[in-house]
Amino acid sequence: AGPTAPAKIRKLDENVVNKIAAGEVIQRPASALKEMLENSLDAGSTQISISVKEGGNKLLQITDNGSGIRKQDLAILCHRHTTSKLASFEDLETLSTLGFRGEALCSISFVSHMTVTTMARGATYGYRVTYKDSEVEAPGPKPVAAVPGTTITVEDLFYNVPTRRKALRSASEEYGLILDVVGRYAVYSAGVAFAVRRHGDARADIVTAAGGSRLDAVRAVYGADVARELLPLRLEAGGGTGADVPVDGPMGLRVEGLISGANYTSGKKAVLVLFINGRCVECAPLRRTLEGLYGTLLPKASKPWLFLDVRMPPRQVEVNMHPTKREVGFMHQTEVIEAIRAAVESQLLASNESRTFATAT
Ligand code: ADP
Ligand code: MG
């Protein structure tokens, strides 16, 4: 081999660029579903039902009772970087929505057959539109009788990306990943009624009640065995409020959670349902720390179940700036993890003491 003459540089074909970009945002049915679920929540939905065929490879359908989409927006709905959520770069600091990049629907439309049926709140009827490669397909939006809200149907995901299709797991594994995503959001967004079922099944695999508590949602999704053994967790640290943890910066940390206690011994693996500033994320170091804590403190209950709703000033979190990024980064990581560890530890110790006390008297 050895050095060769330089190859000619040329611009990639638009269609190739779009397919590559789509593959970055949407890797599998569960990632498509997560994007659509976040859109439904952003639209203020209180009911979200999901129907899945063949693990989502054949069909993913999500119906919500949110704001709906205005007719005049349907033409650009699936264009890249069209969004109703972000207007300026500064908005990122105060963003309260899950979406903002305007890439999800665009990406999905490049790798599936997509149909949107929507009726905007206040409108008298709805519209049905099909999209292909980010554009409305002829003959365009068709008026239909509908109820306020949106149904998005995604069929034959990756029909035109055979390598991606081959990389998918079995239908039941892909379905499991979908249930995992929905389960996490159902606990976080307790009170929103979620239902997930295999297409055509009468029985749903996840059902949560409208207006239910967080504990109700845990019971519905993860089972009564988990819900029964949960202790509340509350923490405020730094930022001038009850700085019981030494920090060298204003962490402005607030955590609310539910954590399994000493009696929860049936866990097969540790489950950490983690939301930071409203986003479902992973944080490997936090997970390791908490697993380590349970392992040391409660060897018999060493596979805990934990839900943590963590809030910190938005500028301290670098989360989901890229849609594929589930692993979160944030400032003061060591201190934040230590503060959460200490709070969990003291709650576990306190509840153990009161247990011993209760049985001793
Ligand atoms: P983003 O969420 O980043 O804005 P998306 O591609 O996910 O980008 O969605 C584009 C736009 O489509 C959203 O900004 C929103 O206005 C609209 N939209 C998508 N799904 C829904 C829905 N279920 N209900 C209402 N509007 C929706
Ligand atoms: Mg979105």
CA-based diameter of the chain, in Å? 86
**Average pLDDT rounded to a whole number, residues 322-333:** 73
- Residues in Cβ contact with 287 at an 8 Å cutoff, skipping those fewer than 6 apart: 270, 272, 274
Domain spans of the chain, in order of start:
14-222, 224-360
Using the predicted structure, report yes or no on whether residue 243 has a pLDDT greater than 50: no
Ion ligand 2 nearby residues (CB, 5 A) = 39, 99, 104
What pLDDT, on the 0 to 100 scale, is given for residue 247?
A: 38
Structure tokens at 284: 């490997």
> Ligand 1 pocket: which of 39, 61, 106 to mutate (most atoms <8 Å of CB)?
39
Strand pairing partners for 260?
230
C-alpha pair distances (Å), 259 with each of 54, 215, 291, 304, 323: 34, 11, 12, 7, 28
Using the predicted structure, report yes or no on whether residue 322 has a pLDDT greater than 80: no
Phi and psi at residue 214, to the nearest 5°? -65, -40
What band does 325 get if pLDDT is binned at 50, 70 and 90?
low
Question: In sequence order, what E strands does the chain have?
Answer: 47-53, 59-64, 113-119, 126-132, 135-136, 142-144, 149-155, 193-198, 206-207, 230-237, 253-260, 271-276, 279-281, 305-311, 317-318, 329-330
Nearest ligand atom owner, CA of 67? 1
The whole-angstrom separation of Cα 114 and Cα 132 is: 7
Residue carrying the six token digits 């954590």: 259
* CATH number attached to the domain at 14-222: 3.30.565.10
What band does 99 get if pLDDT is binned at 50, 70 and 90?
confident
Average pLDDT of every residue of the chain? 90
The closest-lying atom of ligand 1 relative to the alpha carbon of residue 78 is 6
Taking Cα atoms as reference points, which of 130, 19, 112 lies closest to residue 59? Answer: 112
How many A from CA of 104 to the centre of ligand 1?
Answer: 8
Structure tokens at 115: 């149909």
What pLDDT, on the 0 to 100 scale, is given for residue 242?
A: 41
Using the predicted structure, report yes or no on whether residue 356 has a pLDDT greater than 70: no
76 near 109, Cβ under 8 Å?
Answer: no
- pLDDT tens for residues 167-183? 999 999 999 999 999 99
Q: Answer positive or negative: Cα dihedral of 319, 321, 325, 326.
A: positive
Structure tokens at 148: 């306020």
What band does 358 get if pLDDT is binned at 50, 70 and 90?
low
What pLDDT, on the 0 to 100 scale, is given for residue 238?
A: 61
Residues in the chain: 361
The whole-angstrom separation of Cα 104 and Cα 108 is: 6
* CATH number attached to the domain at 224-360: 3.30.230.10
**Average pLDDT rounded to a whole number, residues 136-158:** 96
Using the predicted structure, report yes or no on whether residue 327 has a pLDDT greater than 80: no
> Ligand 1 pocket: which of 31, 47, 84 to mutate (most atoms <8 Å of CB)?
84
Radius of gyration of the chain (CA): 23
What band does 133 get if pLDDT is binned at 50, 70 and 90?
very high
What pLDDT, on the 0 to 100 scale, is given for residue 96?
A: 77
- pLDDT tens for residues 37-94? 999 999 999 999 999 999 999 999 999 999 999 999 999 999 988 988 887 878 777 7
The whole-angstrom separation of Cα 155 and Cα 60 is: 6
C-alpha pair distances (Å), 262 with each of 143, 149, 218: 57, 44, 18
Hey, is 131 helix, strand or coil? strand
- Residues in Cβ contact with 350 at an 8 Å cutoff, skipping those fewer than 6 apart: none
- pLDDT tens for residues 215-229? 999 999 999 999 999
What pLDDT, on the 0 to 100 scale, is given for residue 214?
A: 97
Decide whether any atom of ligand 1 lies within 6 Å of the 66 Cβ.
Answer: yes
Decide whether any atom of ligand 1 lies within 6 Å of the 78 Cβ.
Answer: no
Decide whether any atom of ligand 1 lies within 6 Å of the 126 Cβ.
Answer: no
Decide whether any atom of ligand 1 lies within 6 Å of the 40 Cβ.
Answer: yes
- pLDDT tens for residues 226-238? 999 999 999 987 6
The single-letter DSSP state of residue 32 is: H
What pLDDT, on the 0 to 100 scale, is given for residue 21?
A: 84
Q: Residue 84's CB: how many other CB atoms inside 10 A?
A: 16
Residue carrying the six token digits 């990024």: 325
Decide whether any atom of ligand 1 lies within 6 Å of the 104 Cβ.
Answer: yes
Nearest ligand atom owner, CA of 84? 1
Q: Who has greater pLDDT, 242 or 326?
A: 326
- pLDDT tens for residues 249-275? 457 899 999 999 999 999 999 999 999
Decide whether any atom of ligand 1 lies within 6 Å of the 70 Cβ.
Answer: no
How many A from CA of 185 to the centre of ligand 1?
Answer: 17
Q: Whose CA is nearest to atom 9 of ligand 1?
A: 102
The closest-lying atom of ligand 1 relative to the alpha carbon of residue 101 is 3
